[in-house]
Amino acid sequence: MAALDLLGGGFLAAFQFWYFMTIVTGLLVGVVAGALPGISFVNAMAMALPFTYVMEPTQSMLFLGGIYVGGVFGGSISAILINVPGTPASLPATWDGYPMTKRGEAKRALTIAVTASAVGGLVSALVLTFLSAPFASFALKFSQPEFFAATLLGLVSVIAIAKDQPVITMVSLLLGIAVGTVGVDPLYGQARFSFGVPEMESGVRFVVVMIGLFAIGEVVDLLATDRDLRPKKTGGKAIGAGFRDILNVKGAIARGTGIGCLIGMIPGAGATPGAVIAYGIEKQVSKRGKEFGTGVEEGLAAPESAKNATTGAAMVPLLTLGIPGSAATAIMLAAMMLHGVSPGPLLFIMDPSMVYTIFAAMIIANVLMIFAGIGVAQLFSTLMRTPPAILAAFIIVLSVVGAFGVRNNIFDVYVCLAFGVLGWGMKRVGFPSAPLVLGVILGPLAERYFLTSMANAKQDWTVFFTRPISATILGLALLFILWSLVPSLRGALRRRH
Amino acid sequence: MASIQNKKRHQTPRTGGRLPPGLGLLLPTLLPFGLLVMAVILPGFMFESDQTASTIGLGPAAWPEAILRAMAVFCVLWIARDVWVLGAAGRQPTLSFPVEDDHYHFGKAIVGLLLIIAYGWSLPLFGFAVTTTIFIGIWCLFGGLRNLMVVVPVAVIGTIALLWLFMGLALMPLPRGQGIFDNFSIWLLRATGIY
Amino acid sequence: MKVFGKMAVGAALMTSAMTISGAALAQGYPDRPVELIVTFGPGGGADLMGRTMAQLMEGPLGVSIPVSNVGGASGNAGLTQLRTNPADGYTMGTLISLTVASWASGLGDNKPEDFEVIAVVQSSPSFLFVPASGDHQTAEALFAFAQENPGAITVATSGYGTQDDVTLKLLANAGIEMENVPFQAPAERYASPIGGHTSAIYEEPGDVAQFIQAGQLTPVVVFSAERHPEFPDVPTSAELGIDISGLDNYRSIAVAAGTPDDVVEKLAQAVATATASDEWQAFCTKTYSCITPVTGEAAQAMVSDFRDLIAAQLAN
């Protein structure tokens, strides 16, 4: 029970005044930054990195960990309230969260979201604390073919979540993957589709595409419909979420958490595919699957718990192996290295108190997140009372700053604006934009996993089917496609008769 | 937050702000053709003329070509379905216009888009501070907020708060502008204590 | 009423800000923050070098040095920004060998002449590492196996058309044929030999220091003219009969060409002060990359020669 003793010591350390305040500050910074349209939590963590120079190593990890946990949730606040995901992982929250807001159930949606996120995050933090070692060796078994299979599963789950025709969803998804191929290719270092513009060689980043498609399109619609963002007054029952509401979605939360924990450990994947896969699976499993997209509680709870369940799991390979699986954990690695601390197996032997303080802090941060989340959500609901014109102007400015901040590059602002116009047009003709964004996120990952797998197998494509884990995941993906196509095939047959 | 759809006030027909019906049928039918053409011709533009694609392994062109080909196939499926559908009366094309809850002002949307594009385009020329102040001001006026006693302070204080947050605290190198605008931005950044 | 309340807060903030700013004014260059563009995303070797250097140069220059990560196109996106910003010394950038190699394979429109290299501050030869669980624990065994079974040994590298690729090609020319398996993400590259998915990895020791110390990766051969002082037991490739050197990984600080000489001089002094500090020595020791900084014409020549060398090798 050495682990419990160490964890106890970790809790004692984490509850010291300055450490505790660091966690709280990080959490609040994360939730607010995540909730601001345009500023993603990865952005916020990169901006926070210089502040960690003056902190001691443990404290800097608590600060960044707080931002990470808070930021992954924060994006859902703006997704639920104004249909603009603050962070790519919050994309699914716009599908069932925003319709709830339209019904006047914003508060209920936010309560369900924050509870689901906290539960997911907490379980994930416990997994990190107690199962790091077995999970780490499990993670090492995964290689490029498995990563490719998992990414493919994320891509096909888009078909399952589609409200639209599968054919159009596929076109949108493939268009997104094609957009993702712009710029230097991952293996050969050759620029593609640059059309002679040097800036195009840097490629198109998904955050920039997402900001353009969602934030700008939404703001223009806001202007054009004279819509009001002020909270809708509704009578009686539908104000907040009770304990009962949460109990009703406990199955969705459990499934989402499980999926998130597994996906989180896969390097490169992270919160967004976790949330999307959880939504897709929940849609198939839930009794109300057909109603998904109209404001169903399960459809909100499952992806919310999944995306926060990736936070702790993503830190497993970072802390145990010294291998960061995502942009967020890469920034944490940088913070540790700048302090001369190298994560990896040696860290557990050389400085276990630091490791267990981080574990304790992750647990504390997820509990505190319920309060921070609700507090900031309250603040944002209040902000909605400002005149829509002012709000819209600031959303645009924040979006532009966010697009710029991804790589401190003005060209990304132009790309963002181009996708803003495109997104507006797509919305007007009813062409779905969510599959496109997911294509841009997952496409480049799928490409490099595919090409590296092939290079490692002497260009033999059977490698994806001869490795047991990869074959299993691919089988799941195939099942998933068939399962989700059943209703539309049945519909087509019925129409014929 | 929630869109207030006061149904009593909006008695205007739902089609009020939408495209004319003819265009409404034409656009969704033409879109897959456009995408198909794109998917077919784009592989030819993948590399610049002075580049030669690497020949080790699958090469850098394999993946994008496969994706574009798959996209072409799905576009053909889409077109096939539309042709089949349009042959029979009373059916809708695969892509259908969204039904708006509210009246949609197309003119206002276009002007809004142009304003946003102008904002992005002038950022590197006039710098973040100047452009943002003007943009917030114009947008508020355009959005129906006519009280200058509100608009001007919101634009000025808002911009300075953003400057403080992003250039001061987060150390982002937001554009300062060219020529005298650069000098002005540097002066402003010093005056606000950021530099 | 609310608006006026906000205005009052804003005004108070502004006045307090103005009083702080008075003290920050200095004489001559630099009189405002000098931006350092790190040409890769946060967390990598270039980022760590840039951030450490920025911290250490703040003292001698007397201004703050904010770091901005401008990743993309093998570092060319950031360099394009460095080149097009005014050449007044208020923008510096990281210029590393990987980016120079990318010019040789036709990427970007940057040239060695576009930049003035202040100093090359880090350099390290690359090694082949094998996992502790691997079948071949010495270079002789590894090479012998590769000679008998061409292409059976897989080596994790950073890509085709890089120094890594050139080294493997030179080995193949000498009859030691190994399969190049490029991994774009460094983390996945390090994980692959440790997880047993590739037989070896080509890397500089600084980037895999924690894995060497944990005993997960073992260096078997160094591609350099001399043995590395930190790894005296690891033979050079020349000792094994294949002379491969001059392909070291280096990292430098550069400004745009046309920057005034006195500004360059001031920056060079600041870099010299920084590299002489204990903090820098600790940093470069930990990353096995300490060198005597190369400055001026020699640094400039190092960059253009390296590009020509890679271009010549790739043309073969």
So what's the pLDDT on residue B11? 36
Same domain, C108 and C37: yes
Same domain, C294 and C151: no
Given a contact cutoff of 8 angstroms between Cβ atoms, the answer to whether A448 and C184 are in contact is yes
Give the pLDDT mean for C34-56: 89
- At A72, list the tokens: 């992954």
Chain C (52-71) residues lying within 8 Å, Cβ to Cβ, of chain A: 52, 55, 66-71
Residues C57 and C82 in one domain: yes
Residue C27 in domain? no
C137 plus C109 within the same structural domain = no
Same domain, C76 and C104: yes
Partners of C204 in the β-ladder: none
Partners of residue B112 in chain A, C-beta under 8 Å? 219-220, 223-224
Considering only CB atoms, A192 lies closest to which of B60, B78, B135, namely B60
The answer on pLDDT for C159 being more than 50 is yes
Give residue A86's pLDDT.
85
pLDDT tops 70 at residue C219: yes
Number of domain units in chain C:
2
End-to-end C-alpha distance for chain A, whole angstroms: 67
Tell me if chain C has a CB within 8 Å of the CB of A145.
no
pTM across the whole model: 0.86
Cβ pair C43:A333 closer than 8 A = yes
> How many Å lie between the alpha carbon of A455 and the closest alpha carbon of chain B?
7
C20 touches chain B (CB under 8 A): yes
Reading chain A (497 residues) residue by residue, the pLDDT tens digits are 577 888 898 899 889 989 999 999 999 999 999 998 888 888 889 888 888 888 888 999 999 999 999 999 999 999 998 888 888 889 899 989 999 988 888 888 998 999 999 999 999 999 988 888 777 777 778 888 988 988 888 888 887 776 657 888 899 999 999 999 998 888 888 888 988 887 888 888 888 998 899 889 888 888 887 766 665 544 444 455 677 778 888 899 999 999 999 888 776 667 888 898 899 888 888 888 788 888 899 999 999 999 999 998 888 888 888 888 788 888 898 888 888 888 877 788 778 888 999 999 999 999 999 899 888 888 888 888 888 888 889 999 999 998 998 888 899 999 999 999 999 988 888 888 888 988 998 898 899 899 999 999 988 889 899 999 899 989 988 988 887 777 666 666 665 55
Nearest chain B CA: its distance from A390 CA (Å):
6
Which subunits count as partners of chain A given 3+ CB pairs below 8 Å?
B, C
- For position A487, what pLDDT does the model report? 66
Contact C102 A190 (CB under 8 A): no
Q: Is residue C229 one of the residues assigned to a domain?
A: no
**pLDDT for residue C17 is more than 80:** no
C119 lies in the same domain as C252: yes
The residue range of the domain holding C140 is 127-222
CATH of the domain at C112: 3.40.190.150
A328 chain-C contacts, CB cut-off 8 A: none
Q: Which residue of B has its CA nearest to A77?
A: B1
Please check whether residue C112 lies inside any domain of the structure.
yes
Whether C13 maps to a domain, the answer reads: no
Both C119 and C151 in one domain: the answer is no
Determine, yes or no, domain membership for C288.
yes
A196 in contact with chain C, both atoms CB, cutoff 8 A: no
Q: Which among C2, C3, C20, C55 is the top mutation candidate for probing chain B, defined by the most B β-carbons within 10 Å of its own β-carbon?
A: C3
Rounded to 10 degrees, the C-alpha dihedral A413/A418/A423/A425 comes to 150
Judge residue C43's burial from the number of C-beta atoms within 10 Å of its C-beta, 0-12 exposed, 13-18 middle, 19 or more buried.
buried
Domain boundaries, chain B: 24-47+60-99, 106-191
Q: What angle do CA C32, C35, C41 make, to 5 degrees?
A: 160
Instruction: Dump pLDDT digits (tens) for B87-125.
Output: 665 556 666 666 655 677 888 899 999 999 999 999 999
Check residue C6 and give its pLDDT. Answer: 43
B-chain residues near C35 (CB < 8 A): 173
C85 and C46 part of one domain: yes
Least-confidence region, from A280-284, B63-67, C155-159, C215-219: A280-284
Could you report the predicted ipTM of this complex, rounded to two decimals?
0.86
Is it the case that residue B10 has pLDDT exceeding 60?
no
Return the pLDDT at C26: 34
Q: Least CB-CB distance to A231: which of B1, B27, B135?
A: B1
The yes-or-no verdict on residue B31 having pLDDT over 60 is yes
- Partners of residue C124 on adjacent β-strands: C249
Which pLDDT band, with edges at 50, 70 and 90, does C16 fall under?
A: very low
**How far does A110 lie from chain B, in Å, by closest CA?**
12
Q: Is the residue at C295 inside a domain?
A: yes
To the nearest 10°, the Cα dihedral for A186, A188, A193, A199? 70
Instruction: Work out the burial of residue C267: count CB atoms within 10 Å of its CB; fewer than 13 is exposed, 13-18 middle, 19 or more buried.
Output: buried
pLDDT category at C9 given cuts 50, 70, 90 is very low
Interface of C with A in 189-208 (CB under 8 A): 190-192, 194-198
Q: How many Cα atoms sit within 13 Å of C110 on the Cβ side?
A: 34
Measured distance between the N- and C-terminal CA atoms of chain B, rounded to whole angstroms: 38
pLDDT higher at A31 or B143: A31
C259 and C110 together in one domain: yes
Distances (CA, A) of B130 to A409, B121, B158: 19, 13, 12
Residue B146 has pLDDT above 50, yes or no: yes
Count of beta carbons in the 10 Å neighbourhood of residue A255: 20
What's the average model confidence in pLDDT over C82-107? 88
Based on the domain organization, do C82 and C51 belong to the same domain?
yes
What lies within 8 Å, CB to CB, of A261 at 6+ separation is A123, A124, A127, A309, A310, A312, A313
Which residues on chain B are in Cβ contact (under 8 Å) with A191?
A: 47-48, 51
Instruction: Tell which residue, C74, C32, C48, C35, has the closest CA to residue C256.
Output: C35
Let me know whether C118 and C255 are in one domain.
Answer: yes
pLDDT at C292 over 50: yes
C177 at the A interface (CB within 8 A)?
no
Residue C43 has pLDDT above 50, yes or no: yes
Q: What is the pLDDT of residue A231?
A: 55
Q: Are C45 and C115 in the same domain?
A: yes
Q: Which residues of A touch B28 (CB under 8 A)?
A: 429-430
Higher pLDDT residue, B6 or C99?
Answer: C99
Considering only CB atoms, which chain C residues are within 8 Å of A456? 154, 179, 181, 192, 197-198
Q: Which of C222, C237, C269 is the last residue of a domain?
A: C222
Distance CA A305, CA A328 (A): 18
Report the pLDDT value the prediction gives residue A429, as an integer from 0 to 100: 82
Contact state of C74 with A184 under an 8 Å Cβ cutoff: yes
